[in-house]
Amino acid sequence: MIKPHGADALNPLFVSDVDQREQLITRSKSMPQVSVSSASAANAVMLGGGYFTPLTGYMTKADALGVAREMKTDDDLFFPVPVLNLLQEVSFKIDQEIALLDPNVEGNPVVAVQRVEGIEQLSSDEINEIVEAIYGTLDPAHPGVAAFLAQGSFVVSGPIKVLNFSYFETDFSATFRTAVQIREEIAANGWEKVVAFQTRNPMHRAHEELCKMAMEATQADGCVIHMLLGKLKKGDIPADVRDASIREMVEHYFPENSVMVTGYGFDMLYAGPREAVLHALFRQNMGATHFIIGRDHAGVGEYYGAFDAQTIFDTDVPGDALQIEIFKADHTAYSKKLNKVVMMRDVPDHEFEDFVILSGTKVRELLGNGVAPPPEFSRPEVAKILMDYYQNL
């Protein structure tokens, strides 16, 4: 199986021993109680599940600046996005252990315990440098930029021990999986070549066929549909609705035992190219050998070019940085000429009117009016679930 990033084995930071975990939970009650952002809590969940292997905790200021400038931490580890615990204020000291309180769970339980190795403040210029490098813009209307700027300027670095997986494990028990669990299931299936597909949206016909095209082209043994379960921008479809629609699609339209439907506990960054590289990194960590990146991957609005998330692997990512292979996909749509979903680059003889293409706005309008999109665009079983959701808003 493909090796994890920067290590021979995964490095999950979740305290799996029940007795040790209970002792740490008890001890955490006497530690400084620190409310963290949703982003910091999601980073803890990803560290706990092994997705951010080989990291041992939150990065330093030097790491964050190095990652922003060169995609390298201070000790020369390739990493595309800073993994930080940013706070607005600090009332503890270096070498203390602090209890990190989960903002996304009622009662704010401790999600992790951190040994504080560094407390550093970012200047406004440094914050802007990081934001512009990661998001490609300083526009506060960008949802990822707004979320980053709201966290604070104090970088609290140091190793962590993760005590739970926040709301992800309870609210999405059938779907949430750690990188450790996905690797174990891939091994149990006997899969060697594995395609991963990232989604924060429901999957329509084009997405379905894209997974099938990638599996055929790479001669993969299976596909892991890996959906983001964390915080999204206003207007995005909730994870439980996406989960139900994707499972319905897989059950009816994929060969049996060829697809794993899974999810991970992370907040969407909407960072386009940089987030695409991050997505590839933690798909390698979960055991995938190939990763699909299509048009406007992890994008939002008009901040990124249609295929910037593909070209970054050619221009900015060293050839030996990641072992996972990128399956670069073009825009996919249903061809009325060929009566099937195709990648547009593969049919140069087609005109625009030869495709069935609907805007997101048009699809939402149809669903909200109880009208299913054409079957060339969306499977009827998927459309039914989405219509029920939109009509109950």
Is 200 in the active site?
yes
Q: Of the listed 21, 108, 189, 200, which one is catalytic? A: 200
Residues 320, 324, 327, CA angle at the centre, nearest 5°?
115
Residues forming a β-bridge with 156: 119
Kindly indicate the confidence band of residue 385, based on its pLDDT and cuts at 50, 70 and 90.
very high
Is 205 in the active site?
no
Two tokens, residue 352: 């625009």
Two tokens, residue 71: 């995609």
Selecting from 3.10.400.10, 2.30.30.90, 3.40.1130.10, 2.160.10.10, what CATH number does the domain 18-166 have?
3.10.400.10
Task: Measure the CA–CA gap between 211 and 223, rounded to whole angstroms.
Answer: 7
Residues forming a β-bridge with 198: 226
Q: What is the pLDDT of residue 232?
A: 83
Return the SS3 of 22. helix
Kindly indicate the confidence band of residue 368, based on its pLDDT and cuts at 50, 70 and 90.
confident
Residues forming a β-bridge with 263: 176, 227
Looking at 148-157, 187-196, 383-392, which range is the least confident one?
A: 383-392
Q: What is the pLDDT of residue 362?
A: 84
Kindly indicate the confidence band of residue 231, based on its pLDDT and cuts at 50, 70 and 90.
confident
Q: Of the listed 201, 345, 364, 369, which one is catalytic? A: 201
Percent of the chain with pLDDT strictly greater than 90: 89
Segment 209-214 shows an average pLDDT of 95
Domain ranges, ordered by start, for the chain: 18-166, 175-264+270-391
Q: What is the pLDDT of residue 360?
A: 73
Two tokens, residue 273: 């190219």
- Pairing assessment for the beta strands 118-121 and 154-162 based on DSSP bridges: antiparallel
The yes-or-no verdict on residue 365 having pLDDT over 90 is no
pTM for this structure?
0.95
Segment 254-263 shows an average pLDDT of 96
336: how many CB neighbours lie within 10 A of its CB? 13
The yes-or-no verdict on residue 39 having pLDDT over 90 is yes
Per-residue pLDDT tens over the stretch 275-292: 999 999 999 999 999 999
Percent of the chain with pLDDT strictly greater than 70: 100
Two tokens, residue 85: 């615990």
Q: Tell the CATH topology of 175-264+270-391.
A: Rossmann fold (3.40.50)
